[in-house]
Chain A
Amino acid sequence: MRLVTDMGTALASKDRHLRVAVSSRVPPSANRRISRQSGPFLRQPMLMLAAVPPDRLLRLRSADPEGFTFEPAESWAQAVRVIRRLPVGLAVVDPLLEGEPRVHEIERLRSFFPSLPLVAYTTLSPEMASVLLGLGRIGIRRAVFARFDDDPALLRTVLRDEWALTAPHQVLAGMQPLLGQLPERVRWALEGAVQAPGETGVEDLARRAQMGRRTCERLFAKLRLPSPSRVLQVARLLYAHRLLLDPGFTVEDVARKLGYARARSLQLQLRAAFGRTAGEVRISLSPEDALGLLWRRLLGTHERLVG
């Protein structure tokens, strides 16, 4: 097994899996040694909403077929349904989706789902200048313009950069002091498992990280971390809390997105974790408070166990 020692070699490699893993994961400024562990690591594709016309959807899909998957929406009503139902981390939107430029539809998405990063992908013309300014006023940070700068490389860069703002990524970033020592493939696996419906156990995490269950458990133990299933449980609860802060999601929506058979199961878990009902959690607990609360409970229990 050849040790890949620099990014250039990795990108030039004939191993497609390695090229994809490297090109889709490593930040532009990095120049790190990359070693292959037990088999090539294939990050799971990120799921995104694409509320854009068909030609733009095609360009999005061809930008990085193994890094991103797109759920299309042909109308704003459909876009809302997709967001409520599926674990999309990010949305690519075109104010011209339904023909006439509609900033207020995008503004609605923003106000209903503030945790969902939005990227504008539209045409650039004098007519669109005021529309773009309107998008800026409602907090859209990034825009890509058809036939000017929507080449695959830039699309990949923009989507990866914005992925760092997604709720699962932010939840994991908040847990960085605890999880910083974990290998990157495990952190990626956690991020994927956090939002995947029904993935609650160490088997799910281990499968995503492409390692055996016992290997995964030993890794966490070696790093003196709580068990993988405990960490995943905490991360999913924090993610659920984050979704509940979005006024566009009901408790039932959040439960369905996370794969609970019934909303009541989620409600019971929230009460057990935070000591409050879902409604109370929604209005009275900030992300920082939620993290602090679970941190103390998680670490407090763990420190008592490991001594």
Chain B
Amino acid sequence: MLTPDSLFDPRPTGATALQPYSSFLARCATAREAGEELEARLALGAYLVLRLVDRAATLPSDPDPGARDGFHWQLSSALRFIAELPKVDCVEASHLDGLVKSVADLGRGGRRPLRINLLAYSWHLEQAGRIEEALDALAASAPFYSDAGADDRMHLGMTAGRYHRTLAHWELADRGYAFGQEAAELQEDRRGILLARLGRAKVLLGKGNLPESRRQIEEIIAEADGKELEDAKAWAYTDLAAVHEKQGLPWDTLRSNYRAFQHFRDSHDRARVLTALGAGLRGVGALSAARSAFESVLRITSDWYLIANAKVELMGIGAEGSDELTFRRYWQAAEEHASGMAPSLAVDFRYRVGMGLNRFGKRLAAQRWLIEAQQVADRHGLNAWYFRLDDLIKGMSAGNELPAEDAKTLTPYEASSVGEIETGLRQYAEALA
């Protein structure tokens, strides 16, 4: 029988394991080396708070007569440390403050506030791309689920499954989703059941079993009927698109992503799938449809990353379509995001500026931008980018022309396939205007 603890056991531990939560020590050490004092203190604070949570979990069964006094002493130390962190404009500090207070209130407020706070904190860490830490924070909550209802247990299982899947811990991922599915079945939550099954299908995808993954996803799509299951169907289509992509089927990928777009209702989810759709359309040469997709992203989301990415893509589309006005307009727009771009986007941005400048006859400036892109790639260990840029730069230095990213000519079949998508996206964009 699956239990909350079994979702995290055995933890695949790396060579840096000291105790649980060494992921936070790693962040602390890295931040300190980079001179980021606040980041280091936040990571250390998280480490302290999670150790405190562990102790709170074992306190009821600890026979040592001094255990309770010791716990309160440790709680006071943690409260003091967290009190010294800035709370204004610091989301993580606020999370830690809430956590340590919910540990202090365990006797009065029960276990649920602590469970919820730990789950919320893990989601925050996931948003920041710190999946190991997110998993650690979630694992700390496991002992507090003995009195949890089915809904809470479902969220625990699904979240654990997602984190493990992201980290390629396949068996644990499947276990998490199975736990979530059991909880969903207990409360006859059809949406929860479908999403849990979808998670398990994605685990199969991750393990490379494409045919079985595809079969299960298509089954879920067929079962997801009714308005209340639309987003489940949409998620299933995005996952089907991922399967098609792995199978090397770009047109099937496009169609699945478009179906997902049609079924999503949430703006953020739509923006994400439009981003995937736009990249796919650009990849097959459907520049006009790709432009519609990315322009819609700019209208419907406030997500910083999706907006920055859309502007970079639109800049590239402008260059590929020999539309210098569009190229320069979106270059200027993307420039505003340059300082905050993640390394891969930062390289991509500089690359596209360079390729665009080259297309419009500014060869020397193009080379400077490509060199800068390579420097960013080198700094962040993006080796594939580094070597690709190296070839281009060396070619330019030798007087060669850069390979042109010309707009592709679609076959009639391909054109009709993209026609439906293009029409749908244009109508959507017009409705937004």
Taking Cβ atoms with an 8 Å cutoff, the residues of A that contact B are 7, 11, 19, 22-23, 26, 28-30, 124-127, 129-130, 132-133, 135-137, 140-143, 147-149, 151-154, 156-157
Contacts and interface: CB of A to CB of B under 8 A. Distances in A.
8 contacts: A22-B63, A124-B47, A124-B48, A126-B32, A136-B16, A141-B19, A151-B69, A151-B73
A136 B17 contact: yes
A111 to B, nearest CB: 16
A37 B77 CA distance: 43
Contacts of A29: 61
B255 interface: no
Contact of A151 (B19, B22, B25, B70): B70
Contacts of A127: 32
Contacts of A156: 64, 66
Contacts of B17: 136
A178 B114 CA distance: 46
Given A11-B65, A132-B25, A149-B77, 11 more contacts: A26-B63, A28-B58, A28-B64, A129-B28, A129-B43, A133-B25, A142-B19, A148-B48, A149-B70, A153-B67, A157-B64
A143 B65 CA distance: 22
A157 B62 contact: yes
Contacts of B63: 7, 11, 22-23, 26, 28, 30
Contacts of A22: 63
A272 B43 CA distance: 57
Rank and list the top 3 A-B pairs by shortest CB-CB distance, nearest first: A136-B18, A151-B70, A153-B70
Given A129-B44, A136-B16, A153 B69 contact: yes
Interface in B1-44: 15-19, 22, 25-26, 28-29, 31-33, 37, 40-41, 43-44
Contact of A28 (B44, B62, B66): B62
Interface of B: 15-19, 22, 25-26, 28-29, 31-33, 37, 40-41, 43-44, 47-48, 51-52, 55, 58, 61-67, 69-71, 73-74, 77-78, 81
A133 B48 contact: no
A129 B25 contact: yes
A126 B41 contact: yes
A15 to B, nearest CB: 14
Nearest to B33: A130
A137 B15 contact: yes
B82 to A, nearest CB: 12
A35 to B, nearest CB: 17
Contacts of B19: 136, 141-143
Contact of B66 (A132, A143, A149, A152): A152
Contacts of A148: 48, 74, 77-78, 81
Contact of A133 (B16, B41, B69): B16
A276 to B, nearest CB: 35
Nearest to B39: A126
A126 B44 contact: yes
Contact of B29 (A19, A124, A133, A154): A133
Contacts of B65: 11, 19, 23, 153
Given A124-B48, A154-B55, A133 B22 contact: yes
A3 B257 CA distance: 73
A7 to B, nearest CB: 6
Given A126-B44, A129-B44, A154-B74, A23 B16 contact: no
A41 B49 CA distance: 39
A86 B58 CA distance: 34
Nearest to A147: B77
Nearest to B44: A126
A91 B55 CA distance: 23
A11 B65 CA distance: 7
User: Which of A29, A136, A143: most chain B CB closer than 10 A?
Assistant: A136
